[in-house]
Amino acid sequence: MANSLHTRTETVLRRLVRRDATSQVRKVLAKSRPEDVAAALEHMTRSERQRLFPMLGDRETAAEVMVNLSEGALRDVLASVGSGLIVELLERMEPDDATDVIEALPEELRAAVLSDLRGEDTEELSVLMSWPSDTAGGIMSTSFFSMPEASTCGQAIEQIQSKGEDFDSLFYVYVLDGQGRLVGVVSLRQLLTNPPNTPLVSVMTREVITVGPKQDQEEVARYVARYDLLAIPVVDEHQRQLGIVTVDDVVDVIREEAVEDMMLLVGINDDAAHGKGIFALVKDRAGWLLATIGGGVLSSELIGSFEQTLMAVAVLAGFIPVIMGMGGNVGLQSATITVRGIATGHVQLGGALAYIWRETRVGVVMGLLFAVVLGGYGLVRYLDQPLIGVSVGISVCLAIIVASLFGTTVPVVLSLIGVDPALATGPFVTTASDITGIIIYLGVATVLLQI
């Protein structure tokens, strides 16, 4: 039922905004959740977003809507909002959410907003903005509940009851020593199921899973997923706690990384999709397409170099699209699976050779399978020239093996040298697999047919 209501809200709001029905829009907004309003804004045009957002009269709701917007929608909304209102909304957000909004502002407006911000949150914002946005420090919240190591469960419960509203997310009690170093963690369940006079040190988990502020957000997400954590503490080199990364932030990270990998799959930088003009978008997207053209030109030159072979046995040309297609698709499959494995931690770089060997064997089995299928077709189709079927069978087998090896190895190598392995997918691996497939096919045919 929630999904149907969510869809209805989007449809109604879009229709009313297009009709400039301000009073009806405000009535719908008053009955809608901020998350649903944000979802509706995601599916609107830039002008529709800029007309709808100012209709959110309640500042708390407007701030929550802004927090739930993607970067592209956020930039559109911010472009129509004055610095005064932005400051007012930022003061109603948690520091980690406010940081995301500030980073989406144009440089001049950002400076003006930061100078107008007041209060204790300003210092927290400065700390968060000192870390890159894609690191644990950049996505952490500095609001976490901690107790001295000499405390008891009863004292912790009293603190939660008196100050619990100060914390946006409260999943664990972090136990700190006199120097602010994290020495243990106690879950709320442990807190409530032990007698009030129980010392925290007697029930806390001492081997705490932590991350450093410079660790990549994708790695942080893997820790949270692997150990089923609701929050993970961020500590400095001296084990002093700086903040926490909560599971809702991790969900956002997983979504962002998935979108980024999806865009890279087709050779597009996700940043190119937001806030740019037509010619800027064309410039950003044309690079990979030019590389594809270069690969196509190289392929045509390679085919031309085997002109004598193709003229002698013209039917060989009919199998070129099949060999190229099989090689390209297998290479793309292998690269996509490997990139996904690296992102989720299932492919560990320390054991990469074992993974590459496994995927190579998969390529060998698939190559033999399709060699029988395609080679068998060639033998039946050209009974008077059996070497054509043999050439096709051997070629498709080798092309699949090489493409599988290539698609598996390249992402691993890119990851080892610090480059996003998702770059190995899409146009890059497809074009490379096409070229190697052509060389293998026409080379094998030339040798076997003795042309």
Clarify whether residues 295 and 424 are in a common domain.
yes
Is the pLDDT confidence value at 282 over 70? yes
Q: Is residue 304 part of a domain?
A: yes
At 60, which CATH number?
A: 1.25.60.10
Clarify whether residues 300 and 417 are in a common domain.
yes
Clarify whether residues 219 and 290 are in a common domain.
no
Clarify whether residues 336 and 442 are in a common domain.
yes
For residue 199, what are its two tokens? 């010392």
Task: Please calculate the CA angle 364-324-444 and round it to the nearest 5 degrees.
Answer: 65
Q: Which of 215, 247, 279 is the last residue of a domain?
A: 247
Is the pLDDT confidence value at 284 over 70? no
Q: What is the mean pLDDT of residues 61-90?
A: 85
Clarify whether residues 301 and 395 are in a common domain.
yes
Clarify whether residues 319 and 380 are in a common domain.
yes
- Percent of the chain past pLDDT 90, that is, above it, reads 22
At 404, which CATH number?
A: 1.10.357.20
**Letter for the amino acid at 145?**
F
Q: What is the mean pLDDT of residues 172-199?
A: 92
Clarify whether residues 78 and 174 are in a common domain.
no
> Is pLDDT larger for residue 3 or for residue 204?
204
pLDDT of residue 340: 76
Alpha helices for 21-131 (secondary structure H): 22-30, 34-42, 46-52, 59-67, 71-78, 83-90, 95-103, 107-116, 121-129
Is the pLDDT confidence value at 382 over 60? yes
Is the pLDDT confidence value at 1 over 50? no
pLDDT tier at 97, thresholds 50, 70, 90: confident
pLDDT of residue 199: 93
Is the pLDDT confidence value at 266 over 70? no
Q: Is residue 277 part of a domain?
A: yes
Q: Read off the pLDDT of residues 27-39 as tens digits, 9 standing for 90 and up.
A: 888 888 888 888 8
Is the pLDDT confidence value at 274 over 70? no
What rounded mean pLDDT belongs to the chain?
83
Q: Is residue 366 part of a domain?
A: yes
Total tally of structural domains belonging to the chain = 3
Q: Rank 44-48, 62-66, 292-296 by mean pLDDT and report only the highest.
A: 62-66
Clarify whether residues 218 and 359 are in a common domain.
no
Q: Is residue 253 part of a domain?
A: no
Is the pLDDT confidence value at 371 over 90? yes
pLDDT of residue 262: 65
Question: Measured between alpha carbons, how far is 282 from 97 in angstroms, rounded to an integer?
Answer: 32
Q: Is residue 257 part of a domain?
A: no
Sign of the Cα torsion 285, 41, 134, 339 reads negative
> Is pLDDT larger for residue 5 or for residue 251?
251
Clarify whether residues 193 and 125 are in a common domain.
no
Q: Read off the pLDDT of residues 202-216 as tens digits, 9 standing for 90 and up.
A: 999 999 999 999 998
Q: Which of 104, 135, 166 is the last residue of a domain?
A: 135
Q: Are 449 and 390 in contact (CB under 8 A)?
A: no
Clarify whether residues 295 and 158 are in a common domain.
no
For residue 255, what are its two tokens? 């979504």
Residue 180's region, left for phi above 0, alpha for psi from -120 to 50, else beta, is left
Q: Is residue 263 part of a domain?
A: no
Clarify whether residues 201 and 340 are in a common domain.
no
pLDDT of residue 276: 55
Phi, psi of 174 (to 5 degrees): -95, 125
pLDDT of residue 272: 45
pLDDT of residue 303: 85
Clarify whether residues 417 and 438 are in a common domain.
yes
Q: Is residue 97 part of a domain?
A: yes
Q: Which of 101, 135, 169 is the last residue of a domain?
A: 135
Q: Is residue 332 part of a domain?
A: yes
Q: What is the mean pLDDT of residues 5-19?
A: 74
Q: Rank 29-33, 53-57, 224-228, 239-243 by mean pLDDT and report only the highest.
A: 239-243
Which domain, by its residues, includes 93? Answer: 2-135
At 181, which CATH number?
A: 3.10.580.10
